[in-house]
Structure 1
């Protein structure tokens, strides 16, 4: 496309953007693309296309149905309580991962997809081998479509970072993590208070971070706790995960005209994270999706499993 060629050549001699600066620029582009005048179909996996809340409001508490061993009962629970409970459960269950630069992060993700309005459900098993330091080709699967991902060139990268060493640099203190995400591309100012307009971007990047199947110890629980401080999140009652287990949904309130945000589902009793519900549109059809990570670990080579 001529437009893409022009974009590549525009200011070609300028220093390459950092991963953080590129992510911020992509977010601005995404917000423009999802404006009411330009409807856009949102895919399942692209992290930089997660819908974000454009306005910050108070976290919403609601009454959800929670099943116990005898009979169901109701109790009021807030999004903050669920996310903090998820952080505590993550710390209890988390096993430290020590990954060498020459290894690969393996994940096995199950995706169940049904056409909106009814139809046959298809199940995909996506296995991925991502290079720990980005120096080797990765092998990934997207709804059953398998491909090799070449080594990134100078100035190239992703959000969240694909390199384990970069993920390990991210703070595991929830407050500092939120500020680091707010101040991407520059030095974080931990003395500067968060403003209402800061939260949509922080919320967006935290959501992307949580979609990464494997994170360094302490980072996922910190992300849950950071999300618990974000205004504009709400509980969605009566949810089940892909295997039919009772769950509590957490969703971010979108801006008027913005695409619907993904639904994070947590166990109704323990608040352990169960998976994600989302939609994608392709070929003029919209699909409801459930996804969850069935296995993960560190391996020495592509096609090896933990």
Structure 2
């Protein structure tokens, strides 16, 4: 395996006309850039491995109790109701607990996901639809097969001591706490022993929300973890509630977007997560990406996910 390239070079290549960067590479590049803004000290290389995994939001959402007015449709006529980011995310957590069906995959199995991605050039043009199917090894001990925007590739097994953050190995996911406060601190501390006595600082939140939202992009999680992640987002400052947001199926919902401090990579906001305005069930994500000088509006949602015994097996 070749030596990792400079993370700022990876960030510059993010908008190039090349296959999308892996999520750990994006997270490391953004982390190092953000830290460079805070201190002139050179950081030691991160220990997570660059490895294609199931697609996760890189600059995801965060939440605080900021109220806006969102259009909510009823059977007779539209009406407006005040709603906060905290209300949406706690509602999403409650809906997740109601619908959750716990699973316990074996280490030798795979997590299958089918993701639908629609892209339209921001200045107008033909819409393209991608159906990305991926099979990720549960414990990283087998080759995975992943697809992103139609680009398919085999992923090598984890080497000793290598992994991703947030973790993708099921045994590591099971070790994450389902207490929202502890989950935030555990993700902040990036795999080290969590220091629950150390309060969150303003400088901790931008990357922490990246890790929490990245965790939420996993299609299958241990019991209680997704609900805890929604509630963890409700503690993160920097949220914007957006009305009249649509998912890839054209359904109108409530959007939640993280907006970071000015001058950071998140200063203009990250992807928008779209939730059903009545049940607060997660519907999908609206984002933008740039490649080859063209900016695309992008809508994604998970159409199916399951645990299977082998690559290319579908539920």
* TM-score > 0.5 by shorter chain: yes
Q: Is the 8 A contact 1:281 1:287 kept in 2?
A: yes
Q: Is the 8 A contact 1:27 1:48 kept in 2?
A: no
Cα deviations by residue, 1:75-113 (Å, 9 ceiling, x for unpaired) = 110001000000000111111111001100000000011
- Which residue of structure 2 lines up, in the alignment, with residue 74 of structure 1? 80
- Which residue of structure 2 lines up, in the alignment, with residue 285 of structure 1? 294
- For residues 218 and 232 of structure 1, the distance between their equivalents in structure 2, rounded to whole angstroms, comes to 25
Counting matched residue pairs gives: 280
Residues 254-265 of structure 1 mapped to structure 2, 5 A cutoff: 254-257=260-263, 258-259=265-266, 260-265=269-274
Offset of residue 70 of structure 1 = 1.6
Residues 130-279 of structure 1 mapped to structure 2, 5 A cutoff: 130-257=136-263, 258-259=265-266, 260-279=269-288
Structure 1 residues not aligned, in runs of 5+: 8-20, 36-44
Offset of residue 182 of structure 1 = 2.2
Offset of residue 49 of structure 1 = 4.2
Offset of residue 25 of structure 1 = 5.1
Q: Is the 8 A contact 2:57 2:271 kept in 1?
A: no
Q: Is the 8 A contact 1:109 1:294 kept in 2?
A: yes
- Which residue of structure 2 lines up, in the alignment, with residue 106 of structure 1? 112
Change (3 A) 1:138 1:24: closer
Offset of residue 217 of structure 1 = 1.2
Structure 2 residues not aligned, in runs of 5+: 8-23, 39-53
Q: Does 1:29 align with 2:32?
A: yes
Q: CA RMSD in A?
A: 2.8
Higher mean Cα deviation, 184-193 or 74-83? 184-193
Offset of residue 138 of structure 1 = 0.3
Q: Is the 8 A contact 2:69 2:83 kept in 1?
A: yes
Cα deviations by residue, 1:227-267 (Å, 9 ceiling, x for unpaired) = 01111112011112111212000001133243530100000
- Which residue of structure 1 lines up, in the alignment, with residue 314 of structure 2? 305
Q: What TM-score, normalized by structure 1, do the two folds share? A: 0.83
Cα deviations by residue, 1:254-303 (Å, 9 ceiling, x for unpaired) = 33243530100000110000001111111110101100000000000011
- For residues 231 and 205 of structure 1, the distance between their equivalents in structure 2, rounded to whole angstroms, comes to 15
Cα deviations by residue, 1:132-153 (Å, 9 ceiling, x for unpaired) = 1111000011111111111122
- For residues 24 and 139 of structure 1, the distance between their equivalents in structure 2, rounded to whole angstroms, comes to 21
Offset of residue 158 of structure 1 = 1.6
Change (3 A) 1:32 1:120: farther
Deviation >3 Å, runs of 4+: 2-7, 21-27, 32-35, 45-49
